[in-house]
Every structure is written in C-alpha cells, then in structure tokens.
Amino acid sequence: MDRYLDLFLHYLLVEKGAAANTVAAYSRDLTRYLAHLGNREPGDIRPSDVTGYLTRLKGEGIAPRSRARALSALRMLHRFLVREGYCETNPTAIIEAPKGVKKLPAVLSPREVEALLAAPLDTGAIELRDKAMLELLYATGLRVSELVGLKASDVNISAGYLMTIGKGDKERLVPMGESACRHVREYLGQARQELLKEKSSPLLFISRLGEGMTRQAFWNIIKKRALQSGVRSGISPHTLRHSFATHLLENGADLRSVQIMLGHADLSSTQIYTHVTRERLKRLHEKVHPRG
C-alpha cells in the first residue's frame, strides 16, 4: 500500500493544492493506518478492517475528534483508490464518524486581548515587530502560517487591506484596521531594515537572524507575552484568531462576512463561533439576572 499512499499524497499536494501541513497530517494518519493493515492490496481491505483500526485507536485513548479526523483521511484515501481504478469498493463508505462533544475554541475577552497587546516584552526593533505581528493577527484573524508567510508586498497600508493565500492556495483580501496599520507602518519604517541587516527578503516579518519568522518562534512570543501580561496560560496564535471571530460576531458582524475574512471554505466551519457567543450570553444571564 505504500506506493498508493505516495500517489495519494502527490494528488493532494499537486491536484488539490493542499497545504504542506495538511499533507503532512494526512501522511502521519495514513502511515499508521497502513502499518495496522500490514501487507495488503486495496481490493483486500474490508469495512471490518477499518472499524478494527478505529477500535484500536479508541483503546489507545485517542479522543473522538482525533478518531474522526483519522477516519476522514481514510475516506479520502479510499475514494481516491476507487476513482483511480485501483479497487472497486470503498470500505469506509458505510462507517459513521465517532461521536464526541464538540469542543468550543478558547477565546480571550476584549480586556485580555488589550492586556496581551499592551505587555512590553522587548525593546527596539524586536518590540516593534512583535507588536505589529500581534496587532495584525488580532485585527485580521489570520492563521499563524499565513501571518509568518506574508510578504511585504502583500500589505497595502494606505488602503488598509492585506492579501493572503490560505488553504487550498486561495487568495483573500482582509481589512487590517487602523491600529494594525499604524503598528505595521512603524515596524516597516523603523525596524524591518534593521532586522534584515544587509540581507534581503520578500517576507514582511523578519527574525533576529535577518530571515523569515517561523510559526514556533511566534508561538513562543505569544506565550511569553501571556505570562508577562497575566493573561491565562495555554493560549496560542489560534486563540487570537478565535477571539477575532467571536468579537466580530458579538459586535454585530454577520456570519458570512466573518467566514470570508477567516478564509473558511464552508460556512459550517464558521458556525462554531455562534456557539461561543451563545455560551457567553448564557453565562452573562446566569451571572447578572435576578433569577439566573
């Protein structure tokens, strides 16, 4: 099956335009699945083999959400094998995804966001860069991979917009907001060239070494700022993305507009934030209503 896996991953990357991180995740899930199957041909795999693998994952303590993700990868692989003529039947067709409690995303309050953005951590060019990155992340709801992958030419400060390429190589325009524009302008005018030293790079945000920022480096910046500002632990760059979407909806934005700004292909991916706002309203009612 290894050669079929290679063909499938190539299909995801080249024909579907899947992001490298997505392809890597599929590769991990499917490599584990094929190891479970052993030396089998596509036409020899039965639904009982798939359910046996999912049962094994459950026995290993894998959460329902992760098992559902694994099944999704299996379904895509087997649909590909049938479509390309490597086998006649799809053993995942009649298997239902594991049921589990839908986990709501962690969201900061507006006050916590202000504390995080205001916390000084460094000085000079590094501080200007970090502030610009944080302000831009909260103002636009970008994925961290999109943020560190921004090119200087992707940002139009005078118009107040940036262009980013999201999942599936889809371009989208996102408004930046006045505060983010101001901080990015200061970074560009006072810090970026200093960080580049004598190097050159098309990327907007530059590390201490004069190269592009990594996702891990930015994650560390957020963790350090959360610690210094007293914001609760466990936040990540995605927490600011969740906060961006939730705060927009709480202040009257429509779901479709938020979907476009987040770059969600399906509106159902954005609807999770309506659950967040409902839960907040419920907690507020319980807290302040005389009969709450």
* Token reading at 121: 């951590």
Which residues share a beta bridge with 273?
none
Tell me if residue 238 is catalytic: yes
Q: Residue 251 has what DSSP assignment? A: T
Reply yes or no on whether 53 is catalytic: no
Q: Which of 67, 78, 192, 241 is catalytic?
A: 241
Query: Which one is catalytic: 26, 53, 187, 273?
Result: 273
CA atoms within 13 A on the CB side of 124: 5
211-216 contact pairs (CB < 8 A, 24+): 212/148, 212/149, 213/133, 213/148, 214/148, 215/144, 215/145, 215/148
Residue 56: half-sphere exposure toward Cβ, Cα within 13 Å: 13
Rounded Cα gap, residues 188 and 180, in angstroms: 12
Q: Which of 143, 192, 225, 242 is catalytic?
A: 143
Task: Select from 9, 232, 268, 194 the least CA-distant residue to 106.
Answer: 232
- Whether 264 sits among the annotated catalytic residues: the reply is yes
User: Which tokens go with 277?
Assistant: 């706002």
* Residue type at position 62: I
111 Cβ neighbours under 8 A, 6+ residues apart: none
Q: In what order do the strands lie in the sheet with 155-156?
A: 155-156, 161-165, 171-175
- Among the listed residues 167, 172, 182, 223, the single catalytic one is 167
Beta strands in the chain (DSSP E): 155-156, 161-165, 171-175
How many whole angstroms separate alpha carbon 283 and alpha carbon 186? Answer: 40
- 278 is an active site residue: no
The answer to whether 208 is a known catalytic residue is no
Nearest to 32 by CA among 1, 10, 63: 1
Name the token pair of 194: 């200093």
Residues forming the active site: 143, 167, 238, 241, 264, 273
